């Protein structure tokens, strides 16, 4: 006679404990130090996962713990090497979907291809939309990203999207410096809304705008400053520093117009060559960025300050998990 196994009766955990136990955090290989800080803020360990590359270059991912019925958060910026990190994220999402995760949130501190958000000439791809399609089709339930180059990218997704900002971290740092006679400067017309919001948080500081013409990709010509910066402490605010051309030329023009000090601030430090040479040449009192993208030691220079967004991301993840307001963090 075949006897049924007698299963032990378990006392169910309280609802809040069950919810906390459902939260799982995993990191891709793009920015492991940031993911470790986020996990520390949440009081969690990063989930075990195997990542390797086969001889032909194909990527392999395996989740090494049960995530059935769990809310999984995958931290992976799509920074350099963009295509490898993006593909790794897609494979991670697919692995979690096939492991029966209840909800999969792609946490993308830096969203690669964000600048390809519209057609500016014939026969171009809108790659930011293509990336959104790939993430959605891979099986993500939700996306959390920081400081998108264009806010319209949120609309490219047909799944819930949480957009958070690195500005509170940078603003806190600047406020503690007790700078005087501040003028917030937008490096181009497209960044005016970002600079205006930044200036409002700095006691409604005056705003200036740099008139810029872009001649080609990664090539910008700065023309003039709209606003009074003479004798002022100027704070250039942008979302991304890539080759550093826009920020450098903006700083040079501000110096020519008589600015007393020039600070450069950006959330995402892509720092493609020759950014380091431009930024470290003495044009700026300080270059303030965050750690959405990992830094190589050889990229550091005396004027560089790196601020962590780990606590901000951790708090956002917790609020999403607890179904509480995210936008109230920025009021």
Enzyme catalytic residues: 212
Q: Which residues pair with 174 in a beta bridge?
A: none
Q: How far is CA 104 from the centre of its chain?
A: 18
Q: Mapped to the 3 state alphabet, what secondary structure does 292-307 carry?
A: CCCCCHHHCCCCEEEE
With both helix axes pointing from N to C terminus, report the angle between 32-42 and 310-321 in degrees, rounded to the nearest 10: 50
């Amino acid at each position: 006679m075949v006897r049924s196994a007698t299963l032990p009766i378990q006392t169910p955990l309280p609802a809040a404990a069950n919810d906390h136990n459902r939260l799982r955090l995993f990191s891709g290989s793009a920015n492991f130090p940031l993911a470790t800080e986020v996990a520390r803020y949440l009081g969690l360990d990063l989930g075990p996962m195997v990542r390797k590359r086969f001889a032909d270059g194909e990527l392999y991912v395996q989740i090494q713990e049960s995530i059935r019925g769990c809310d999984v958060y995958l931290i992976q910026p799509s920074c350099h090497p963009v295509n490898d990190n993006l593909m790794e994220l897609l494979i991670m999402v697919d692995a979690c979907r096939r492991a029966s995760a209840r909800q999969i949130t792609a946490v993308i501190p830096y969203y690669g291809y964000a600048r390809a958000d519209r057609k500016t000439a014939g026969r171009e791809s809108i790659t930011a939309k293509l990336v959104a399609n790939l993430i959605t089709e891979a099986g993500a339930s939700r996306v959390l990203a920081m400081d998108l180059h264009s806010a319209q990218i949120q609309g490219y997704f047909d799944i819930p999207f949480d957009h958070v900002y690195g500005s509170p971290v940078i603003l806190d740092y600047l406020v503690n410096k007790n700078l005087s006679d501040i003028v917030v400067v937008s490096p181009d017309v497209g960044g005016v809304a970002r600079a205006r919001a930044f200036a409002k948080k700095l006691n409604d500081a005056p705003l200036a705008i740099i008139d810029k013409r872009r001649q080609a990709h990664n090539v910008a010509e700065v023309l003039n400053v709209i606003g009074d910066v003479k004798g002022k402490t100027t704070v250039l605010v942008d979302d991304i520093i890539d080759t550093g051309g826009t920020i450098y030329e903006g700083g040079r023009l501000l110096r020519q117009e008589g600015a007393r000090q020039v600070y450069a601030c950006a959330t995402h430090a892509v720092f493609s060559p020759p950014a380091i040479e431009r930024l470290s040449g003495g044009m700026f009192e300080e270059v303030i960025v965050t750690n959405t993208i990992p830094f190589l030691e050889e990229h550091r220079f005396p004027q560089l300050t790196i601020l962590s967004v780990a606590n901000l991301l951790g708090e956002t993840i917790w609020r999403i998990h607890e179904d509480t307001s995210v936008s109230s963090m920025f009021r």
